[in-house]
Amino acid sequence: MVSFFVLAYALSWWPSVLYALDLSPQPIAGFGPFLAAIVVLALTRGKAGVMALLRRMVRRRVRIRWYAVALLLPVAITVVAAMLNVLLGAQAASAAEIGGWPSLIPTFFLLLLIPGFGGAWEEPGWRGYALPRLQVGRSALFASLILGVLWAFWHLPLMVVGEVNWSDIVLVTAVAIVFTWVFNNASGSVLIVMLMHAMNNTISGSFFGQMFSGADSLRQSWLLAALWCAVAIVLVVVAGPEHLSRKHHKQEEEPAQQATDATAAPRVVV
Q: Which of 69, 70, 77, 73 lies closest to 223, judged by CA? A: 77
Find the range with the poorest average confidence among 12-26, 31-45, 57-71, 251-265. Answer: 251-265
Domain residue extents for the chain: 61-254
Q: Is the pLDDT of residue 264 over 70?
A: no
Contacts 24+ apart (CB under 8 A), 50-54: 53/124, 53/128, 53/129, 53/190
Mean pLDDT for 240-264 is: 71
| pLDDT(146) > 90 | yes
Sorted by sequence, the CB contacts under 8 Å of residue 154 that are 6+ apart come out as 8, 9, 12, 28, 33
Q: pLDDT of 69-128, one tens digit each? A: 999 999 999 999 999 999 999 998 776 666 666 778 888 988 888 887 778 999 999 999
| For residue 259, pLDDT beyond 50 | no
Angle in degrees, CA 234, 238, 242, rounded to 5? 105
pLDDT of 254 over the 70 cut: no
Nearby residues of 259 by Cβ (< 8 Å), 6 or more positions away: 45, 253
pTM above 0.75, yes or no: yes
Q: What rounded mean pLDDT belongs to the chain?
A: 90
